Amino acid sequence: MKRVAFIGLGNMGLPMAVNLLKNGFDVRGFDKGATAASAALAAGVAMERSAIAAVTDADVVVTMLPNGAILRQVYGEIVPAAKAGALVIDCSTVDVESARAAHDMARNAGLKSVDAPVSGGVGGAAAGTLTFMSGADVEAFEAARPILSAMGKNLVHCGEAGAGQAAKICNNMVLGISMIAVCEAFALADKLGLSRQAMFDVVSTSSGQCWSINTYCPAPGVGPKSPADNEYKPGFAAPLMLKDLGLSQQAAASVGVETPLGQHAAEIYARFVAQGGTDKDFSGILPWLAARANEA
Q: Please report the pLDDT score of residue 296 as a whole number.
A: 60
Q: For residue 30, give the 3-state DSSP assignment.
A: strand
How many Cα atoms within 13 Å fall on the side-chain side of residue 296?
9
Of 168, 233, 243, 280, which residue is the catalytic one? Answer: 168
- In degrees, to the nearest 5, what angle opens at C-alpha 273 toward C-alphas 213 and 236? 45
Q: Please report the pLDDT score of residue 1 as a whole number.
A: 58
Does the active-site annotation cover 168? yes
Q: Please report the pLDDT score of residue 252 as a whole number.
A: 97
H runs (alpha helix) in the chain: 13-22, 34-42, 51-55, 68-78, 96-108, 121-127, 138-151, 163-191, 196-203, 211-214, 238-255, 260-272, 285-295
Q: Please report the pLDDT score of residue 76 as a whole number.
A: 97
* Secondary structure letter of residue 237 according to DSSP: B
Amino acid at 1: M
Domains plus CATH for the chain? 3-159 (3.40.50.720), 166-293 (1.10.1040.10)
Query: HEC states along 57-92?
Result: CCCEEEECCCCHHHHHHHHHHHCCCCCCCCEEEECC
pLDDT in 10s for each residue of the chain, 296 residues? 599 999 999 999 999 999 999 999 999 999 999 999 999 999 999 999 999 999 999 999 999 999 999 999 999 999 999 999 999 999 999 999 999 999 999 999 999 999 999 998 888 999 999 999 999 999 999 999 999 999 999 999 999 999 999 999 999 999 999 999 999 999 999 999 999 999 999 999 999 999 999 999 999 999 999 999 999 999 899 999 999 999 999 999 999 999 999 999 999 999 999 999 999 999 999 999 999 877 76
Distance CA 278, CA 280 (A): 6
What is the model's pTM? 0.91
